[in-house]
Homo-oligomer: A and B are copies of this chain.
Amino acid sequence: MTEKLDRRQLRTKQLLRQALLSIVETKGFDGITVSELAQAAGINRGTFYLHYSDVPHMVESIHSEMMNGLQAIMEEVDINELFTVPVTKEPYRVVVRVLEYMELHTDYFKVTLGPKGDTSILLQLKKMLQKQMYSKLTFLFPDAEMSPFPLDYLIAYASSANIGIIQHWFETGCKLRPKEVASLMLRILQQGPRGSIGLS
């Protein structure tokens, strides 16, 4: 997989990554030129093409790195537990680990999930959640007709909702600990919006 070692390559890739995220933070992912990227990174414009064919290619490449990291954690998730385990002081472990991973890479996620962010990443993230939810829900409801509520809409609802919480977490500067955020997600998922604020 990672069979690249030359310090020079690593250095320029790091410089490019920093430059990209810095630019994205101010003007979003659109309209970034190779020229400004190279200048911000302090490297020669031609050098960029030794690593990426294109700005979109570089963006996609960085996206993949982060998504792979998330995917590895996600694959351990067990939605069944999420739905059946009662509220405890220890929120669901894998959720916490996902949030910790995101907090570790704040520089990346705060921009991609924010207002200048990337739709495709939000979508991938949502699809990850949905995939897990779907497999577990179809286990709970082998015959889709048994559910009094269309499962696809339920999944669309719950996945978007949790992403909304994560976005708000970054938007407010990650003031809460991953554990606390996971705890909120668990409570609202179990009790629903009305129940969580104390309405009957």
| Contact surface of A with B, Cβ cutoff 8 Å | 28-31, 56, 83, 115-120, 122-123, 126, 137, 140-141, 147-154, 156-165, 167-168, 171-172, 184, 187-199
Contact = CB atoms under 8 A, between A and B. Distances in A.
A106 to B, nearest CB: 18
A52 to B, nearest CB: 16
A115 to B, nearest CB: 5
Contacts of A195: 192
Give this chain's copy count.
2
Nearest to A195: B192
A163 B165 contact: no
A56 B199 CA distance: 45
Contacts of A197: 137, 140-141, 147-149, 151, 154
26 contacts: A30-B30, A31-B56, A116-B119, A117-B119, A118-B119, A119-B119, A141-B197, A149-B196, A149-B197, A150-B184, A151-B197, A153-B168, A153-B184, A156-B165, A156-B168, A157-B161, A157-B162, A157-B164, A159-B164, A160-B163, A160-B167, A161-B161, A188-B192, A190-B194, A192-B192, A192-B193
A164 to B, nearest CB: 2
Nearest to A159: B164
Q: Pick from A147, A150, A151, A161 the residue with the most CB of B within 10 Å.
A: A161
Contacts of A56: 31
Q: Pick from A29, A116, A192 the residue with the most CB of B within 10 Å.
A: A192
A172 B164 CA distance: 21
A9 to B, nearest CB: 28
A160 B158 contact: no
B156 A164 contact: yes
A85 to B, nearest CB: 12
